[in-house]
Every structure is written in C-alpha cells, then in structure tokens.
Amino acid sequence: MKKIAVCGVTGAVGKEVLRCLGHLPFGELSLTCYASERSAGKEVQTPFGTQTIERFSMEECRGFDVVFLCVSGSFSSKYGKQLSIQNEVVIDNSSYFRLDDDVPLIIPEINLSRCKGHRLISNPNCTTAILAVALYPIYRQFSLKRVIVSTYQATSGSGQAAMDELASQTANYLKSGKAGHRQFAHPIPFNLLPAIDRFEANGYTREEMKVVHETRKIFDDDSILLSTTAVRVPTFRAHAESVTIQTQHPVTPDAVREILQNAPGVVVKDDPQEQVYPMPLTSTGQYDVEVGRIRANPIFGECGLDFFVCGDQLLKGAALNATQIALQLFDANHFKQ
Amino acid sequence: MKKIAVCGVTGAVGKEVLRCLGHLPFGELSLTCYASERSAGKEVQTPFGTQTIERFSMEECRGFDVVFLCVSGSFSSKYGKQLSIQNEVVIDNSSYFRLDDDVPLIIPEINLSRCKGHRLISNPNCTTAILAVALYPIYRQFSLKRVIVSTYQATSGSGQAAMDELASQTANYLKSGKAGHRQFAHPIPFNLLPAIDRFEANGYTREEMKVVHETRKIFDDDSILLSTTAVRVPTFRAHAESVTIQTQHPVTPDAVREILQNAPGVVVKDDPQEQVYPMPLTSTGQYDVEVGRIRANPIFGECGLDFFVCGDQLLKGAALNATQIALQLFDANHFKQ
C-alpha cells in the first residue's frame, strides 16, 4: 500500500494531482489530503472516494512514501527540506528548489535517473516542461545551439482564480464592453499581457528566465543559448509555444517528425493541409504535448527548424509530470533504498 | 477639392478608411462610396455626412484623385490596373499587387518616395506594416541579419464576420461550454490557431511568407533573413508580435529606445516595473504602433535584441497606412505631375 499525501488539494494543481493519481497505474494507495486551515474539515472528491481535508501540520505529515507540494514557494521554502527528512520523497511544484544544485529538476522522459539518492525533487516550470519534452528528442539527435521561444500562456498558470476571472470578466465585457481585473495587472479578456511574473534587471521576466535556466539544468547543458518571450493569452489551461531552433548538426523536418513520433510524452499533430496542428482546444486535458508546424527555417541554413507546441499547463506543465515522477520512482523501487 | 473614391465601404477596412479620411487633415474633399450590388442604394455614415452607397462600375469610377480598393484580391486583379489608368492614383489593400515589381509597396514612414511615377500603389499586409514601422528605424541604424517573429493576430484580420464570430461564439461557449465556427477552421474562443491563410510547399503559410517577402521589398534589402510564425488569437483588432533580431552592428536597448522615441508611427510603451508594455487593450484604435519589452537578447552576443509590438490591424495594418499614403501624396503634389 503506497502512502501518498497531497498538500494544497484545493488549488488548480492539487486538484489535477488527485485526478492523475487516479488515472495512472499506482495500484493500491492510501491518500491524505492537506490544505490550509481555511479548507480543513471540508470534503474533497478524489478518485479514491470523498475525503475530508486535513489541516497541514509538520507533526502529522510524516511517514509518507510521497508528499506532493502543490502550494506556494514560501511554503516549500519553510517546510520542503524537513518534509523530505520525515518522508521518503517530496515532489515540489513550486519554483523554490528548482535551481538548487542539491535538488534534481526532473522530467521523467528526460532525466529520471538524476533522482537517485535524492528525497527532495523539484517539478519544472510549466512552460519549460512543455517545451523540454518536445525539444529533448531533437536535442539528443542534433544538439542545440540556439532556442528562441515565444509563449502563448493560459490563465491556469496563475491559478484557479485567474481562470475564473477570464470567464467572468469575458462575460462582463460581452455585456458592457468593459472588463475588470484582480488576478492580472490588466484586463485579460480579448487582450494579451506580455508580462508574466516579475521583471528582472536584464529586462526579461522571471518566467522567461526560468525557461532558460531550467532547460539548461534539465538537459544538463549550459551551452544552449535560449531566449523566451512569455505572453499571457485569454485561454484557460493549455500553454502554446512558438519555437525556433538552431541545431548543431543539419536537421530536416522529416527526421524531426519521425523522432517525435517515437518519443514519449509527445504526439505529432502536423497535417496542415487538413488543418491539423497543435491547439489549446485539442491539447487541453491531454497527457501528451502536441507538436506541429514542423518546418525548415532557412534563416539558420541547414540547421534551422521552427515548430509549435501545445500542452496542458496543469498536466504535463504541473500535476501530470509530478505524478509521473512518483509513479516511475515506485516502478524503479526508489523507495527504502 | 480632392476627389476620393472608396471601393468596399461596408467591409472592416473600408469603414476605417472612411474614418481616417475624416481624421487626417485632407481639407475639403468629395467622397464617393462604392460597394457591391448587394449594398448599393443603402446609406453609410461617413465623417462627411450620410452618403448613399453606389454600385461599383468601371464606367463610373473614373477621374478621381485617389481610389482606395478595400476589396478582394480577385477584384483588384480584375480592375486595379485599368482603374489606375482612368484615375490619378489607386491604393490597393489586397495582396494582389504587393510583390509585383512594377507596383511600389509603401509605408509612408519608410519609402514614400518610391511612389514617384506610379499610379497604382500597394498597401502592405497588416502584420508586415505593424512590424516594419517599428523595425525600420532599428534597421537604418544597426542593419539586420536575422528577424524571428511570432505573431498574436486579431480576428479583424479575417474581416468583420470573423470578429462577430469571436463575440458570438465566446458567448456561446460561456453559456454551454461549446463554440461553433464558420469563419475559422476551428472554434476561436479561448483557443489559438497557428495557421493563417493557406499553406505553402515549404511548410510556412502564405501569411508567414508575406512578412518575409514584403519586409524585404519595403526595406529594399533581400539580404535580411526572416522567419515568421503566424498565430490567430482570440482578440478583436490589434495584432501583437514577439520579435527577436540579430543586427549587423552591436545594438543596445537604450539606443533602440531612443531611436524609437523619435521615430514616426511608433510609440514606446516600455516601463515594465509600472506594468507598461504594448497590449491590444491600449493599442486598439490608436494610430501609432506600440513598442516595448525592449531588451538585449544575449543569444546573439552584442547584436541581439528582443521586443514586442502591438498595433491596430485595421489602422496601421490597413486603412490608416492607405490613407496616410494618399495624404502624403497630396502634400507632395504627386498628382497631375
């Protein structure tokens, strides 16, 4: 019997972790649901039946095989390390430990083996995870010199309240021509915000720099040059990314298509004549990241390639990747090593 | 008295041409409004009073100083050349003549002088015009090696019916969780379509290749390497573009900001700490194209720069540019040369 705890079950990511635990072949497990005092005592629907939410406390949260942290970075910074001592494995969804040299940053399709000897594991940024799962098979074959990414990020990246704001303020706008905002710096309906997370001194946002630093860490290659522009768009929960790469070795769209067709975690959606390409509409709720619009980019000679990816921000971008890490650690007998 | 005709006054672009004619300092003018048989006889509101729409005919449409064609490429192909013989100047909004060596492709801020000796003038693609007006001042100072563009294009680019579909189907989706589609290949509410116009053999769309070919023609420089990814987003009428450039000479954000602050047709919106950046919300209805998120892109060493532009697709992307061409030709005494 696998003992699993989820901290933050009322948030957008926590809810999806519960669902993924039900969908993935974990076998028998005992589940404990934690949230803040505000939600403690309430009931939550899980794939394992209705459960009462418990108030999180360090004293109680011990002895689990896996603890999922689907909470804030400040929570993770306060409790993450200690929880990883009194439990077998902690998988943290926040950004707090991602660039910590002592904490592996894991996408199971890419670098699961780096978990070895670690009890605290970090789950990547959503934009990074969706990009990396498509990019890594290309990187392995052709190596990478430059990666240029422009994102089309869903409101789910800012949490449930942000998704609710998109729906309610869009309705307001259609009624009155006006939309308010609380979760975003400006109204999001029928608008775009080229600013996600706070700005750094170099003019990039933290979100944009996460893609740079995390991709390099996951690929274990600091020589890759990346630049990202992160844009919030009025969609609900699938992130899209327009990607231009310069490989080290000559690359062709056909070769990339074949590699990606055989790669785990991605599905090739690339039949433009039939209007088949990645879209939020089709990738929402899907485990695999859609890749399409694969074409030779002549501005980098024989080493240029453009493509478009779309993946569910709450799934491969968060909850699915985290639960896949846990499942594969169980399969690999990571526990009680 | 300037004699001006607008063909296609009931379309999204034609309507905006009428408005721009009223806003720009044309002085006294006599306006004739043409449309197809279906709209002939109806009334249209113009800045010069209510007018009755006339049915277009080649026999009648002659002797004007300027004829604006805000109609389809097939209309332009059929009538454009002949109209330019029996009128002083024809300004065509369709794509039909844009790459014709005998027809200048004009953005007044960049290459007005190329109109000299021509009676048929082509107005650029919307995405190209919005990009070029911001890019040209940078190009003049630093020259350009590579330009990588990902677009966030409003539904207005597909016409009034497409904008109406965004509104009506968004309302449907909020009510029922479902959205239909007629103007687009897939539902547009809360979705993204990485496919605008038809696909070419190289895997790019015509829309994407327009940006390549038209930018080179407008800048009169075929050495610039460009790649574009064109994506339809659920916004109404302002196009945004995420732009990464590699210049020939070292470039800095401060230098670019200063150049753009003094450039015609653009306004710098670049104070990220105060959440000031280009957005559809602020650029809709504005004549100037907003430029912001200007930052050094380290992946091209000292020659890398990223920025974000946003401009009204129906204004600088279409009607405004066309009427600016006409106004400046009047100012330059282009007529009766």
The CA distance from B116 to B326, in Å, is 13
Task: Determine what percent of chain B is predicted with pLDDT higher than 70.
Answer: 99
Contact yes or no for A101/A284 (Cβ under 8 A)? no
Q: What is the pLDDT of residue A212?
A: 98
Cα within 13 Å of Cα(A186), Cβ side? 22
Q: Is residue B167 part of a domain?
A: yes
The answer to whether the CB of A67 falls within 8 A of the CB of A87 is yes
Structure tokens at B31: 């306006």
Show which of residues 196-215 on chain A sit within 8 Å of chain B, judged by CB atoms: 199, 202-205
pLDDT at A336: 62
What residues of B act catalytically? 126, 239
pLDDT confidence of residue A142? 98
CA-nearest residue to A307 within chain B is B229
Interval B18-57: pLDDT, tens:
999 999 999 999 999 999 999 999 999 999 999 999 999 9
In this prediction, residues A131-143 reach a mean pLDDT of 98
In this structure, the dihedral spanned by the alpha carbons of residues B32, B33, B38 and B41, taken in order and rounded to 10 degrees, is -60
pTM: 0.97
**Strand B289-296 to A29-35 pairing:** unpaired
User: In whole angstroms, what is the distance from residue A118 CA to residue A89 CA?
Assistant: 8
pLDDT score, position A211 = 98
pLDDT at B336: 62
Residue A264 lies inside a defined structural domain of this protein: yes
Are A94 and A120 within one domain?
A: yes
Residue B332 has what pLDDT?
86
B293 closest CA partner among B257, B317, B239: B257
By Cβ distance, the residue of A195, A272, A298 closest to B275 is A195
Please write the tens of the pLDDT for every residue from A274-291.
999 999 999 999 999 999
Cβ contact, residue pair A272, B185, below 8 Å: no
Q: What is the pLDDT of residues A246-259, one digit of tens each?
A: 999 999 999 999 99
Concatenating the DSSP letter of every residue in B57-115 gives -TTTS-S-SEEEE-S-HHHHHHHHHHHHHHSSEEEE-SSTTTT-TTS-B--HHHHGGGG
Examine the pLDDT at B314 and tell me if it is beyond 70. yes
| B112 and B140 share one domain | no
Decide if A226 and B306 are in contact by the 8 Å CB cutoff: no
CATH of the domain at A108: 3.40.50.720
Q: Please report whether residue B337 resides in a domain.
A: no
Clarify whether A186 is annotated catalytic.
no
Length of chain A: 337
- Its domain, for residue B111, covers 2-123+319-331
- The CA R_g of chain A, rounded to the nearest whole Å, is 20
Residue of B186, B194, B281 lying closest to A186 (CB–CB) = B281
In this structure, the dihedral spanned by the alpha carbons of residues B299, B300, B304 and B309, taken in order and rounded to 10 degrees, is -60
β strands within chain B, DSSP E? 2-7, 29-35, 43-46, 49-52, 54-55, 66-69, 89-92, 120-122, 144-152, 225-229, 238-247, 266-268, 289-296, 304-312
Q: Mark yes or no for CB contact B299/A235 under 8 Å.
A: no
Q: Do B309 and B190 belong to one domain?
A: yes
Same domain, A89 and A204: no
Number of structural domains, chain B? Answer: 2
Task: Please enumerate in sequence order all residues whose Cβ is within 8 A of that of B274, keeping only pairs 6 or more positions apart, or say none.
Answer: none
Residue A81 lies in a domain: yes
For A89, phi and psi rounded to 5 degrees? -140, 140
B334 pLDDT above the threshold of 80: no
pLDDT of residue B4 exceeding 80, the answer is: yes
A278 and A151 together in one domain: yes
Q: Are residues A86 and A136 in the same domain?
A: no
Would residue A16 count as lying in a domain?
yes
Question: Mean of the per-residue pLDDT values for chain B?
Answer: 96
State residue B333's pLDDT score.
Answer: 81
Average pLDDT over residues B258-277: 97
- The rounded distance, in Å, linking the Cα atoms of A38 and A31 is 20
Q: Which of B145, B147, B148, B209 to mutate against chain A (most A CBs within 10 Å)? A: B148
Same domain, B193 and B239: yes
pLDDT level of residue B337 (50, 70, 90 thresholds): very low
pLDDT of residue B136: 98
Phi-psi region of B275 (alpha: psi -120 to 50; beta: other; left: phi over 0): left
- Looking up residue A236, the CATH number of its domain turns out to be 3.30.360.10
Kindly state whether A166 is in contact with chain B, defined as any CB-CB distance less than 8 angstroms: yes
If asked whether residues A161 and A117 sit together in one domain, one would say: no
For residue B47 the two structure tokens come to 């800045």
Beta carbons within 8 Å of B154's beta carbon, 6+ residues apart? B163, B233, B235, B236, B237, B238, B239, B280, B313
Percent of chain B with pLDDT over 90: 97
Give me the mean pLDDT over the B195-204 stretch: 97
State whether A6 and A104 are in the same domain.
Answer: yes
Q: Are residues B24 and B105 in the same domain?
A: yes
**Is residue A10 in some structural domain?**
yes
Q: Is residue A184, in this structure, part of any structural domain at all?
A: yes
Is residue A336 included in any domain, yes or no? no
Kindly state whether residues A301 and A325 are assigned to the same domain: no
Mean pLDDT (whole number) for A159-186 = 97
B273: chain A residues, CB-CB within 8 Å: 199
B119 shares a domain with B214: no
pLDDT in tens, A48-84: 999 999 999 999 999 999 999 999 999 999 999 999 9
